[in-house]
Structure 1
Amino acid sequence: MPKFGGAPKCPRCSGSVYHAEEKIGAGASWHKMCFNCNLCHKMLDSSTLGEHDGEIYCKSCYGKKYGPKGYGFGGGAGTLSMDQGERLGNKPTQQTGPATAQAYTHCDVASDAPSKFGGADRCPRCGHSVYQAEKMIGANSSWHKKCFSCAACNKGLDSTTVCDRDGEIFCKACYAKGFGPTGVGYGQGAGTLSTGQ
């Protein structure tokens, strides 16, 4: 640690750091006001600190700059990020996989392709890949949240309101109308039950 007059020097401002204002990180002593993320300048503490090559970052910026890149990383579950971190100062690396994200996102819905594409299930309603963050289960299939709706009335469904038949999903009301018992006495209040149609 560089010292001046017995006190270590802050790596950010090169000023002397005295004990009352000292924060320790990346093997150096910092002023409290200099102990912030090198990219977003958010104030740091020991639980939010990420270090790399003598510089300090918040965990979010550290993950974006030095964390894993590519399929499924950096943009939340179910996304493909081709971001190499250029805006954070990283140099682009040589591509070893597909040149564009389209290789992962385009699929021929009309083909007899398998039910999985790129490791993800395919939605029976729209035919696109369903990733974990957007997955709803019904009729033994994985559905997008936006596609998880009644086939008859298009009402949004959840695990408590879904009924399935022949690979399609319905709300309880439409399922009862379409596939429930028929005849006098059903759906008309109290009365006698008749099997006649």
Structure 2
Amino acid sequence: MESMPNWNNHARPTLECSHCLESLNGRRYVKQNNKIYCLPCFETTFANRCQRCEKLIRADQKEVGFNDEYWHDECFMCHDCLANLTNNRFAYKNQELLCMDCYDKLPTSKCCICDKKFEDGQVTYEFDGKHRHEECFKCAQCDALIQTSLFVPHQNSQLCVRCYEDKYALKCKKCQKVINHGGIKVQDTPWHSTCFACKLCSISLLNVKFVTKDNELYCQNCYTEKFVKKCVRCGRPITGSDDKRYISFEDKSWHCKCFTCCNCDCNLIEKGFVVTAGQLLCPYCAKNTF
């Protein structure tokens, strides 16, 4: 801000406000961006507004600026204790000015792990509203520093991804790898959807009938072919869709309707029979044939 110099009456120049064009002769004015303004125009056009009292900071008032915000000198004070912060160290937290004494009382001024204060220039990490020293922010299982690596919150602490997966993550029954996505549970056992397949033919068992045997999965066709008893007479499997009753003799099995004499086709259930050359015969046919 400047005052008019004393000019000789015969050589006095005419000065005008760059905004309102009124004469500045004999008036105080302010230079801004190589232009001159009367005080009212300067304050209306360029003056900053104080963050605390929200009033304009006039040209004749002392101004304090920080982080693209401005205060009157007398308004630049601690939010909590109102101590003036001009020429003093201060902290800026949640858009509030704090003296160092008040800042040190905040929970965020100390590490939530070791409870020690943060020093100027220290690298800190924030998670879930809590702050930690870089050296304190580590895996609770293996003590590896987490820094900017991925981690998993666990029981008021944190685990690196490897430790979490080793100890807690669901693992596929077939490949024993962690199930991150695309998993299913069958009989309380987790599987990757791509691993949920028949042991023999590898066909996917999603949305189809399957059978579990000895902790292995089989499609219905493979299970029937490998494990289901076959009728000695017709060669077809003896399944639950057939009569629940079937006949077994010397590790061989027959459908009830197939348990007949090979010569006369009479049914042999609850009758005597003779096995000759691997064939069933009723007593009559056995007697007359041989």
How would you bin the TM-score normalised by the shorter chain? 0.3 to 0.5
TM-score (norm 2): 0.27
Structure of higher CA gyration radius: 2
